[in-house]
Amino acid sequence: MSSRYRVEYHLKAHRKDAFIQWIKGLLAVPFVLHSVNERDNAQEKYRRVFEDVERLVEEKIEADSDESLLHGAGVSRLDRLVPTIGTFFTPLPLTEAFLREDARRAISERAHVSPSFNDIRHVLNTAQILQLARTGELALVTFDGDVTLYEDGASLAAEDKVIARLLRLLGAGMHVGIVTAAGYDDAENYERRLFGLLRRLERADLPIEAKRRLCVMGGESNFLFRCYERDGRAGFERVPESAWMSAELQAWSQDDINATLDLAEVMLRSLREKLRLPAETQIIRKVRAVGIVPGQRFDPELGREVRVPLLRETLEEIVLAVQSRLETFPPAQRVQFSCFDGGSDVWCDIGGKDLGVAFLQRFYSPESPIRPNQSLHVGDQFAPVGSANDVKARLAGCTAWISSPQETVALLDDLLAELDAPTNM
């Protein structure tokens, strides 16, 4: 009988990252040779693969920047090998990153388990961190909330390890943004979710200018809140849309927004019946979002209310069904929307995290907006087709793909160590 991991892995062909899968395929041949003959130098062969990929990334960056008719964007060898590949805003020192991760994960010592999706994901993250730190130009670091800064559905508590790293980023002159799908239009809800960060911020030995570099972009790109401190108490205050939202988005028709959310809500109600979801399942409508969330039911054995979860396959079916319908709906085509699986629920938001990151880039530096190669977004949802909302952040800047708050802490430790390294001072 297959394990849960294997079952879910085979069910999610639409969620595989083509670039990572391609690299994984390149590493398969040296792995097979190594598994047959352990004297074979697997590390050197893996290193050469990453060296070749590193050169292909550099070639793509050069091709994408060449606006001549002969060498237009999208004609690099990497584009031909991985047709769905996106934009690289910086080179990636993949060779060095692989050697670092190999020292940690003993990738080349394994004779029975080939280089995995997670191995390659970590190599890509490390390469991006190395490059951003060494240029000395990193100006903006943004984070998803659930599963990135804190566990799914939890809040950021004062004792959470990630807070010390966020404070160090602010102290190092970075702008820090939390770009979350949580779509509250009032500051109080974000203050409750991030109360631990605010309490630690109050005690931190940081100038007020540094604390003001912390913002929350809610609803992916719909509500901006900036940190303030008055009389020793920190909180968030809402920033008027005119101060940060682009004219194009302000011009979106409210009728189109309402029609898009109306259709998404109709779809959710229909799918609730069609997929025979538990009666407790709720549909929630917000100002710029609509979602379906698990309800609660009294468990007589436990003597308390418990959540009635939705199947993973059900969540993905809902996401893909709603998204495919909205893509052909004229009002939805005149705005931007994002359908995603939040791990236990499904939401359709107006906007997207690419817009949220881009708005922060301009808000923090209106005269000279922060560039994509000066930005890093850290998140857990980078599935390339549907289901995920962090993937859109790749359109606005560099990214790092983590799978837990613990990985976020480790990644920030690497970043801060590189920023503090003598060669980067």
Catalytic annotation, residues: 144, 146
Nearest-10 Cα torsion for 197, 202, 205, 209 = 90
Question: What b/e sequence results for 103-119 when a residue is b if at least 16 CB atoms lie within 10 Å of its CB, and e otherwise?
Answer: eebebbebeeebbeeeb
Residue 27 Cα distances to 33, 85, 334, angstroms? 10, 19, 43
CA distance 355 to 352: 6
As a residue count, the chain comes to 425
The dihedral sign for the CA sequence 182, 185, 191, 192 = negative
Sequence-ordered list of residues with C-beta below 8 angstroms from that of 92, at least 6 positions apart, any chain: 54, 57, 124, 127, 128, 131
Sequence-ordered list of residues with C-beta below 8 angstroms from that of 340, at least 6 positions apart, any chain: 181, 319, 346, 347, 349, 381, 386, 387, 388, 389
Tokens of 159: 């004792």
Amino acid at 81: L
Amino acid at 84: T
392 contacts 353 by C-beta, under 8 angstroms: yes
Amino acid at 51: E
Cα angle 288, 289, 294 (rounded to 5 degrees) comes to 155
Residue 235 sits at φ, ψ, to 5 deg, of -165, -170
